[in-house]
């Protein structure tokens, strides 16, 4: 059975009343954002498009949306924000590079590898009464004329290579079996003029071939190594 026309009209009027209430709410909401439409729908639409975001954080929300599009999760974005540095605090001074340790010849017990590498300004005599260990290439490029290391026993083979040392005093070091390079890779093989080593030393047998004026003495210089017969002889 069809509904009476009056009932249908009543329903329509009720819906229109509801719609009017919705329109009023929409109007109030839009006007609160600064819209004052002239009443034309097309004008209303244009004005809506020109509305600036009400929140000053709108661009931040856009950035968050961009982060989502790059695959970041909520927890990752929050973590990045929470770990930002506090710009309200003055910047803290950053530590600079560690300064090179000062070498004290009087107290040092070790000469590190490349300790004096390339320091041609180092001249004259160096005396280190307590050094027991000398690292590789420690004296390369130096112009020390005399080096005295009375307690040195642990000396790298290349410690004095490419140096200009003329007198080397290492009376506790046992020189043998090619364990000390005193020249360069080619010539001259022996750049020293004089060396003092431990009594147990057996200097290389080729000294007489490469440097006939090279003097090799035992610890207290009471014996000299005969570079031709390869034996110690009293001085």
Task: Identify any residues that bridge with 127 across adjacent strands, giving them in sequence order.
Answer: 148
Span 59-70, mean pLDDT? 81
> How far is Cα 155 from Cα 229, in angstroms, rounded to an integer?
27
> How far is Cα 152 from Cα 160, in angstroms, rounded to an integer?
13
> How far is Cα 14 from Cα 103, in angstroms, rounded to an integer?
99
Whole-model pTM over 0.85? no
| Strands ordered across the beta sheet of 223-226 | 123-127, 143-148, 167-169, 194-196, 215-217, 223-226, 231-234
Q: Where are the alpha helices (DSSP H) in 33-112?
A: 41-49, 58-69, 74-82
Closest to 140 in 3D by CA, of 122, 112, 160:
160
DSSP-derived pairing of the beta strands 231-234 and 223-226: antiparallel
> How far is Cα 210 from Cα 93, in angstroms, rounded to an integer?
58
The C-alpha R_g of the chain, in whole angstroms, comes to 46
State which of 11-20, 48-57, 110-119 shows the largest mean pLDDT: 110-119
Binned at pLDDT 50, 70 and 90, residue 78 comes out as confident
More confident residue, 91 or 117: 117
pLDDT for res 35: 52
More confident residue, 86 or 117: 117
The string of pLDDT tens digits covering residues 151-199 is 999 999 999 988 889 999 999 999 998 899 898 766 678 889 999 999 9
Binned at pLDDT 50, 70 and 90, residue 81 comes out as confident
Given a cut of 60, whether residue 109 has pLDDT beyond it is yes
Mean pLDDT of the chain: 81
């Amino acid at each position: 059975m069809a509904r009476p026309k009056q009932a249908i009209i009543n329903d329509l009027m009720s819906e229109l009343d509801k719609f009017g209430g919705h329109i009023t709410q929409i109007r109030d909401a839009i006007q609160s954002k600064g819209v004052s439409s002239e009443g034309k729908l097309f004008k209303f639409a244009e004005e809506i498009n020109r509305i600036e975001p009400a929140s000053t954080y709108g661009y931040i929300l856009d950035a968050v949306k961009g982060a989502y599009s790059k695959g970041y999760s909520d927890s990752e974005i929050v973590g990045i924000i929470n770990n930002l540095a506090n710009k309200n605090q003055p910047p803290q001074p950053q530590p600079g590079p560690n300064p090179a340790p000062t070498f004290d010849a009087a107290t040092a017990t070790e000469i590190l590898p490349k300790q004096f590498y390339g320091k041609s300004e180092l001249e004259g005599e160096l005396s280190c009464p307590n050094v027991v260990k000398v690292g590789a290439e420690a004296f390369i490029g130096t112009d020390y004329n005399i080096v005295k290391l009375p307690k040195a026993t642990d000396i790298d083979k290349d410690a004095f290579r490419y140096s200009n040392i003329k007198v080397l005093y290492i009376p506790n070091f046992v020189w043998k079996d090619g364990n000390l390079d005193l020249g360069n890779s080619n010539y001259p093989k022996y750049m020293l003029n004089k060396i003092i080593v431990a009594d147990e030393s057996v200097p290389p047998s080729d000294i007489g071939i490469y440097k006939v004026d090279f003097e090799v003495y035992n610890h207290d210089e009471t014996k000299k190594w005969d570079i031709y017969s390869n034996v110690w002889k009293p001085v």
